[in-house]
Structure 1
């Protein structure tokens, strides 16, 4: 289905926002994230930089953020880029800013979540290598810690030799260098989390910031746990719910901007090929859309995917467009 998105109202909504809040607004819809979907990544840096240059240095800056996750280092880079252009960064989350999106939020001065707004745990997810039994596509260091806790709590395995047997079992299923990658990723996420949190909570002791990051990494039962505004505040983050007047305007802008993420168009020459907008950046001065072109095919009967239409991405790029001259087409 093709959804027509009209950006003319979005421009007026951005103007209304900026007049009401007396600060500039940047919309960053980074995508759903995950193992195959567009999320926060290094390709986002250039269009965000272009938008920030158009906005200019601001004493206070608002970001409307949507993200299901993405790359940790890209999230850090983007957050540091935002901080180059403002001394007070406020991030609004109308729907979700999970995983790498939550990490980005740690570098703001204030996180404002709508009624549906949610953050998520930041334990890193690494693509698994070498499990012939068809285990999960992505692993977290917390998955390994949970396995060792399971061996102690459920199986009563406590000796060094028994723990070594568990490690041997893991190494037979997961490529050993992947285990090293998990260890490095765990150390990195904690380091970056504490680095960014210094912007939000500069007066706290390092040990307290470290405890907050540890809760975000290891304090929840699953990576897809939804952290509400109240829970984020209880963790020690500078987070709050939207005020009623804020929410109405936030939701209005979100609904208009997010319509782009639903837009797709077929290739008239090759019907098996489609183009889809899966990320979106906009401010009052410019706008960008991330286009992913995919090829659809139906696996043969012998395939384990038989009967399912597979979407294979073949090309992806950010494209600038003029919302005033092209108000009704994606």
Structure 2
């Protein structure tokens, strides 16, 4: 009524201020900056939603599957170190999508994860191939769904600029430079050793050496999976002896994880990036040099 004092403003919780555009609060950032970064803010909004469901910090390592330059490579460990600051040493879910890459940086990232995220689960909504499968073995458990796949852990070897091939492609091929042949053999041996270490100290701890060795041979040789692109889905991963949580398509957590993964696939293409390292507050993306 006329003459009545104005109603006091409704207090907006601090959390709601971080939830724009869901709340009536405007973003704390300037309009132009928020609009330029809106894809990241919306992804991080969904990351926090998923964290509210799991009670664990969700971190994302997403690499383009369509660009050879998106391999796991030297320098990635710096961005992992930065990203892991979001976890503050607490329980972590690491969502990964990667075509794989080189073994040296994979080994370094595995060491970082073991040190900075001792309570780690790995989430593979779609693909963690080759040495990406090695990263999946770092956790105590792998969360997979209907579209998820691991693959044989075949490290990549660089034969020159824009010429990257799986190491097994070079073994036994006539005319291959002996230096490249030796590098391929060493990379395969290193990957097998890494797989054995990760399994023996992680999700297969306490198992007999023979059980662990059979999984290593399956993953890091061509004996069981002759193709570099062979699909190891959730059921196959469990048959191998890996610790897997299989989510079905109607599971609420799976639907949220799949939506987040689709956001990354769309946004990485639109941004012209090859890798994104992201958590609830920290974000870095890389573009090809």
TMscore range, shorter length: 0.7 to 0.9
Aligned equivalents of 1:6 and 1:178: distance in 2?
Answer: 42
Contact 1:5/1:259, CA 8 A, preserved across alignment: no
The reply to whether residue 18 of structure 1 matches residue 51 of structure 2 is yes
Residue 269 of structure 1 is matched in structure 2 by: none
One of 174, 189, 192 as aligned partner of 1:190:
192
Structure with higher strand content: 1
One of 140, 143, 146 as aligned partner of 1:109:
140
- The unaligned stretches of length 5 or more in structure 2 are 1-36
Residue 272 of structure 1 is matched in structure 2 by: none
Residue 12 of structure 2 is matched in structure 1 by: none
Residue 203 of structure 1 is matched in structure 2 by: 206
- Post-superposition, which runs of at least 4 consecutive aligned residues in structure 1 deviate over 4 A? none
TM-score normalised by the chain length of structure 1 = 0.69
TM-score normalised by the chain length of structure 2 = 0.78
Please state how far the C-alpha of 1:128 moved relative to its aligned partner.
5.2
Contact 1:91/1:111, CA 8 A, preserved across alignment: yes
The reply to whether residue 53 of structure 1 matches residue 49 of structure 2 is no
Alpha-carbon spacing, 1:6–1:126, altered in 2? closer, same or farther (3 Å): closer
Residue 279 of structure 1 is matched in structure 2 by: 275
Contact 1:233/1:240, CA 8 A, preserved across alignment: no
Contact 1:5/1:260, CA 8 A, preserved across alignment: no
The reply to whether residue 41 of structure 1 matches residue 73 of structure 2 is yes
1:259-298 to structure 2, matched below 5 A, reads 259-264=266-271, 276-292=272-288
Residue 144 of structure 1 is matched in structure 2 by: 171
Residue 258 of structure 1 is matched in structure 2 by: 265
Alpha-carbon spacing, 1:252–1:33, altered in 2? closer, same or farther (3 Å): closer
Please state how far the C-alpha of 1:230 moved relative to its aligned partner.
0.5
Please state how far the C-alpha of 1:137 moved relative to its aligned partner.
6.1
Please state how far the C-alpha of 1:31 moved relative to its aligned partner.
3.0
Contact 2:53/2:253, CA 8 A, preserved across alignment: no
Deviations 1:161-186 (A, max 9, x none): xxxxxxxxx2xx11122222222222
- The unaligned stretches of length 5 or more in structure 1 are 130-135, 148-169, 265-275, 293-314, 316-330
Alignment size in residue pairs: 247
Please state how far the C-alpha of 1:8 moved relative to its aligned partner.
2.8
| Aligned-CA RMSD value | 2.3
Aligned equivalents of 2:102 and 2:135: distance in 1?
Answer: 11
Please state how far the C-alpha of 1:143 moved relative to its aligned partner.
6.1
